[in-house]
Structure 1
Amino acid sequence: MGSPLGDFVRAKRDSVQPQSLGMPDWGRRRAPGLRRSDLAARAGVSVEYLTRLEQGRDRNPSIAVVNALADALALDPPERDHLRYLSKITGGECTAHTRSAPPRREVRPSVLRTLGLLEPGIAVVTNRLGDVLARTGGFEAVTRGTGLLDADTPHLDAGMPNLTRYVFTDPRARAFFADWDEVADERAFELWHGPSAASFEWFTAELAPTAGPEFTGRLNRHVVPRREPWRLRHPSGCELELIRETLELPEDAQQLVVFLPADEATARAVDRLGGRSPGRLRAV
């Protein structure tokens, strides 16, 4: 049985081309990317140890080994952060926890008041599982007719919309998100940093049977997202590009996400969708 850390190291090793690291191209190889022996040599560990790590038989690498692997794979800062995070959880509670535990979904009154101050802007309070915990009227306007907030769709749990379920189980999501693959990678990645190990296990177990390999494959690849703007194709015919700014609420394991029009055409479209006269929301 593998481990999150081993899966990530193996996936990155398979994706790295030797030439990008200044290594010679040895010609045709049985698998893409770096050989295990190449990575072991660059990181200063034995092939046997790297094999155990990738296969999940060694779950407690030292900080020095983690840093050496990051250097050897030429990881960028977000990837390094994710590698360090996986090294912490692989030998701990996330892999050992099996009891179901839905996440906390209450939003503090002060956060709700803050959200109200952002009207008529586009903003939402969510957690890393994708639960839409609270939203502005502006968010409702740009998602109206897409299925995300519909009361009769399968991605609602206990009456609460969930963005991750929507992305992976509602066919309308592929039409709504112009960059659906990138959004799907991001939603899968966010689950690793969910409210708790217990809620991660609960949610992934609930979602996997309906979402299938599109979900489980992305979850195990650990693709670190680039946090690009959302490009949306609204059912009304509008095309929107929204820049995202995220305020972390660590006390609650939640995020307040504000969406800003990236251009004047989007700003005008958002005004129309919200039933406002042009000029209320400006592009940034």
Structure 2
Amino acid sequence: MGTPLGDFVRAKRDSIQPESFGLPDRGRRRAPGLRRSDLATRAGISVEYLTRIEQGRDRNPSPAVLNALADALSLDARERDHLRYLAKITGGACPGHRRPSPPNREVRPAVLATLRLLEPAAAFVTNRLGDVLAYTSGFELVMRGIGLLDTERPNLTRYVFTDPRARTFLPDWHQVADEQAFDLWLGPSAETSEWFKAELAPVAGPEFTRRLHHHLPPSPVPLRIDHPAAQELRWDRERLELPSTDAQQLVVLLPADEATAHAVEQLRHRPRGILRAAS
């Protein structure tokens, strides 16, 4: 049985073309990407040890080995952080069988006050599970009609993978799906993420479970929305991490072009200063 760490190393190795590392083409292979022997040589470890890591038989590689693998795979800063996180939970931080307490859904008054100051911009408070905990009227304006806010407790991850409207209104659905699945590895806690994944997997299907084992951090790109009452909207996303005790993020959607800014002004017909909070 594999581990999150082993799955990531194998997925990253499979995604690398040997030629990009200056390695010769050795003809047809059973699997794509970098050979295990080539990665082991670059990292300065044995093939047998690398095999144990990838197959989940070694769950506690040393920091030196993790750094060597990160160097050998040419990981960027985000991927290195993810590698260290996966090593932590692979080493035993996920008990897995008991249902943990749900993540805190309370948004502090100071954060709600910050949202009010952001009106009429589109902004919301979320966590790594995708829960939409509070939002501005500008966010409601943008999301109105696509289905995300139709439930009592809106959740972007669940919406993307279980609501068929998501594929209609999100032209880059695969990119958004990659982002939401990857975010589950980052919290609010390892136990809560494991519980959420186990709860969602039966209804989300293979598009969800396949991404859980992919592990590669998606590249940040503008969020595109085919709004039902406007043209295509393109958004840059600014994410502000709140204190770790909150395990939440404040996300602001910024128009990525003049056409989006103009379209939103045309949509805006609600009075300013209205703040919505998900119960």
In structure 2, what is the Cα distance between the partners aligned to 1:245 and 1:140? 17
**Partners of 1:31 and 1:169 in 2: how far apart?**
32
Larger RCO: 1 or 2 (CA < 8 Å, sep 6+): 2
For residue 254 of structure 1, what is the aligned residue in structure 2? Answer: 248
Distance in 2 separating the partners of 1:92 and 1:256: 30
Partner SS state of residue 148, structure 2: coil
Deviation at 1:251, TM superposition (A): 2.6
| CA distances 1:137-191 after superposition (whole Å, capped 9, x unpaired) | 000000101010013xxxxxxx210000000011111111121111100000000
Q: Superposed, which structure 2 residues align to 1:109-128 within 5 Å?
A: 109-128=109-128
Whether 2:220 is the aligned partner of 1:221: answer: no
- Mapped pair 1:241 → 2:240: no
Q: Which amino acid aligns with 2:103?
A: P
What is the SS of the residue equivalent to 1:192?
helix
Matches within 5 A, 1:7-22: 7-22=7-22
- Any conservation in 2 of the 1:14–1:32 contact (CA below 8 Å)? yes
1:71 counterpart = 2:75: no
Q: Which amino acid aligns with 2:177?
A: A
Aligned match of 1:272: 266
Matched residues, number: 269
Kindly provide the amino acid, as one letter, of the partner of residue 228 in structure 1.
Answer: V
CA shift, 1:276, in A, is 7.0
Q: Larger deviation: 240-249 or 85-94?
A: 85-94
Superposition pairs of residues 30-109 of structure 1, within 5 angstroms: 30-94=30-94, 96-101=95-100, 102-109=102-109
Partner of 1:130: 130
CA distance in 1 between counterparts of 2:269 and 2:182 reads: 35
Once the two structures are TM-superposed, the CA of residue 237 in structure 1 deviates from its matched residue by: 3.7
Matches within 5 A, 1:131-280: 131-151=131-151, 159-249=152-242, 250-275=244-269
Are 1:97 and 1:201, in contact at CA under 8 Å, matched by a contact in 2? yes
SS at match of 2:150: coil
Distance 2:148 2:267 in 1: 16
1:7 is displaced (CA, Å) by 0.2
Alignment gaps of 5+ in structure 2? 272-279
CA contact 1:186–1:223 (8 Å) conserved in 2: no
Paired with 1:172 and 1:212, the residues of 2 have a C-alpha distance of: 16
Cα distance in 2 between the residues matched to 1:218 and 1:192 = 11
Question: What are the superposed Cα offsets for residues 231-274 of structure 1, whole Å, 9 maximum, x if unpaired?
Answer: 11111142111111111012300000001111111011111222
CA contact (8 A) 1:13 1:39 kept: yes
**Aligned partners of 2:187 and 2:193 also within 8 Å:** yes
TM-score (norm 2): 0.94
The aligned amino acid for 1:98 is H
SS in 2 for 1:91: helix
